[in-house]
Structure 1
Amino acid sequence: MAAILAALALAGCSQPSTAGKGAPLHVLLIPADGGTESGTLADYRPIFAAVGKSAGIDFDLKVAQSYGAVVEAMCNGTADIAFVGPVTYLQASQRGCADLLAVAVKKGQSVYYAGLFARKDSPIRSIADLRGKSVAFGDVNSTSSFVFPVTMLIGAHIDPVKDLGALRLTGSHANSLAALIGKRVDAAALSFDSYDKAVREHVPGATEVKVIARSEAIPYPPIVMASRLPAELKQRLRDGFEGVAKAPGVTPEMIRGYGGAQVDGYDAHFPAARFDAAARKMALLSDDLKGEILKKSAER
């Protein structure tokens, strides 16, 4: 079944890459904000256009249908570059498929945060108040809409399977926020970047939401490249991202990151070791626990 789902998720991305043969590099983006082409493509087209202009490289951008589909595409050769979450990067890296390419920098930092949110009119004030409440999470492979929020619950001695009421896996940050605003759940897990984007875009009801818990700092979602790419091409990509903010003809508005937010630039020498904390969080979620969460989420 897993193989069938992966194949379906990769529909439209099944042709092997022709990287290094003069064709555009295939870029696959995780469906961080709703899973639609338009929103996520609008977020990342400016930065890839800027890098392409400065480095003389063409890119073909597509949005995957799931986080897992991005890992499979990197590993089966149908994607050359990907925008991923820290956990998705680690999954691909552990399979020998992906190398770090670049990480966005804003105000001297390359971090973001996961959060648990409730409606302002809710009596929920803290994680402890979530016992018996319904909670929406994003994709099971998402760092900030699943892995870190679940470990936050565990750290507060709340068993996500036994202690929560209904548990919903919506597939994306935006879907979880919509479920919260629509009063289909009592709380929702998503990144602050996704929440800020919803407020920035005047999503109805977004300002009627409050934060009940904030994660520790998480390494910013990276852009990664396939390990199989030629060394010369990898260096051109690193140089392109590292220098993009100062490249001729590139305006500050083109330097975008997660959620379409403007950033200062990209660090193409970001130490892979900084993702070790995310790896430790990922290790806390055993396959058995994830299986139980998936089972619970299917209950109605």
Structure 2
Amino acid sequence: MRSLARGWLAMACTLAVLFTVCACAPLEAEDRTPAGLTLVVMDPLASPLSCPCVKGYAQRDYDKLAAYLEKQLGRPVTVAYSDSLTTALQKKTEGKADIIIGKRSVVEFDARNSKLDVVPVADLTGKDGLTTMTGLIVVPKDDPAKTAADLKGYRIIFGSPECDEKYAAPITLLKSKGVTLPEKLETSASCADGATAILEARSGKGAAVISSYAKPLLEGCGTINKGDLRVVGETEPVPFITAFVSSRLSKADSQAITDALLAVKSDLTLRTVLETKNGFVPAAKAVGTSSKKN
């Protein structure tokens, strides 16, 4: 009897061990599944954030980039589009932003406001191969001003403070030309609003600052007619689209993401849908030019 009892006990113990192993196996498999990454896209030339008015322009497909990153990194990548990082964190991503791609000065501004530490790792080249943009100071076509120095006493509409090409850069340019600016600057978040404001003004002389990338869209979308505005000043180049990673990521994860982005240059199909000549380049090597129409 004791022998029989010991046999039953041994069998019970064996079954208990097998049950435990089987029950734990799915959990262990689940633990091995790589955590997903959240990509926040703030690029104004991304398809969901722009318009299809100009064929082959401002229709960047970041969903394709996300699929590429999933393959390269071996983990899920979710994309959220927003003009504002703060809005994306609060309403779209539940506070997550592992990778952020957008205008460098805007991302940095929003990240500071959201208390999110981010690191720039790569700049996206445009169709021209440049990684920069400029601010364009424009006036109505019949305005007498020829250069930025002629804007003394003008009403000047700047962009939002977080947009370097429409705020900090033109301020520097105008001051260098002897133009005295009011203590409180007039600003407009939208290039379209600033441009139409000076065109519709019934009195006084006015100028507006628009982003260089926005000029084709203003004309292509019919916001203004081609030739309605004339450029009288162009700022120094500032960084345009930059990819950032969250400092919360491990060094290995950050490097893997950076390597994957830099490898985009070898993928012609991806370069085409991202409207980029050379893909991403290291952030420290941003390049640009200005025609210096000042």
Please report the TM-score for the alignment, with normalisation by the length of structure 2: 0.66
Q: 1:263 corresponds to which letter in structure 2?
A: T
2:177 corresponding residue in structure 1? 156
- 2:241 match: secondary structure: coil
Distance 2:235 2:248 in 1: 34
- Structure 1 245/197 Cα, relative in aligned 2: closer, same or farther at 3 Å? farther
Residue aligning to 2:64: 50
Q: Which residue matches 1:294?
A: none
**Is residue 103 of structure 1 aligned with residue 103 of structure 2?**
no
Paired position in structure 2 for 1:211: 231
* 1:171-210 correspondence runs (5 A): 171-183=189-201, 186-210=206-230
The residue type paired with residue 82 of structure 1 is I
Q: Residue 139 of structure 2 contacts residue 232 of structure 2 at CA under 8 Å; is this kept in 1?
A: yes
| Identity value in percent | 16
Separation of aligned partners in 2, 1:68 and 1:183: 34
1:119 and 1:238 map into 2 onto residues whose CA distance is 44
Aligned residues of 1:117 and 1:189 also touching (Cα < 8 A) = yes
How far residue 225 of structure 1 moved from its aligned partner, in angstroms, is: 1.9
Report how far residue 144 of structure 1 moved.
0.7
Where structure 1 has 5 or more consecutive residues not aligned to the other structure, the ranges are 1-19, 256-261, 276-300
How many residues are matched?
238
Mapping for residues 82-101 of structure 1, pairs under 5 Å: 82-89=100-107, 91=109, 92=111, 97-101=117-121
- Give the Cα separation in 1 of the matches to 2:136 and 2:162: 16
Give how far 1:246 is off: 2.9
In structure 2, how many angstroms separate the alpha carbons of the residues matched to 1:22 and 1:159? 53
Name 2:40's counterpart in structure 1. 27
Give yes or no for the alignment of 1:242 onto 2:262: yes
- The residue number in structure 2 matching 1:287 is none
Q: SS at the partner of 2:249?
A: coil
Please state how far the C-alpha of 1:24 moved relative to its aligned partner: 4.8
Structure 1 residue 189, shift from structure 2 partner? 0.7
How has the CA–CA distance of structure 1 residues 156 and 195 changed in structure 2, closer, same or farther, with 3 Å as cutoff?
same
Contact residue 135 and residue 170 of structure 2 kept, 8 A: yes
CA distance change for structure 1 residues 72 and 142 in 2, over 3 Å: closer, same or farther?
farther
Q: CA deviation at 1:193?
A: 0.9
- Shift of residue 195, structure 1, vs aligned partner: 1.2
Q: CA offsets, 1:234-273, max 9 Å, x none?
A: 233223322224338x254302xxxxxx22133342217x
Check conservation: 1:26, 1:80, Cα contact below 8 A. yes
What CA RMSD, in Å, does the superposition of the two structures yield over aligned residues?
3.7
Contact 2:37 2:99 in 1 (8 A): no
Aligned: 1:267 with 2:288: no
Asked if 2 retains the 8 angstrom alpha-carbon contact of 1:51 and 1:240, the reply is no
2:64 counterpart SS class: helix
Q: Distance in 1 between matches of 2:252 and 2:58?
A: 28
TM-score normalised to the size of structure 1?
0.65
Q: Deviations over 1:65-101 (max 9, x none)?
A: 5x7768999xx95433333434345554897711113
TM superposition shift of 1:227: 1.5
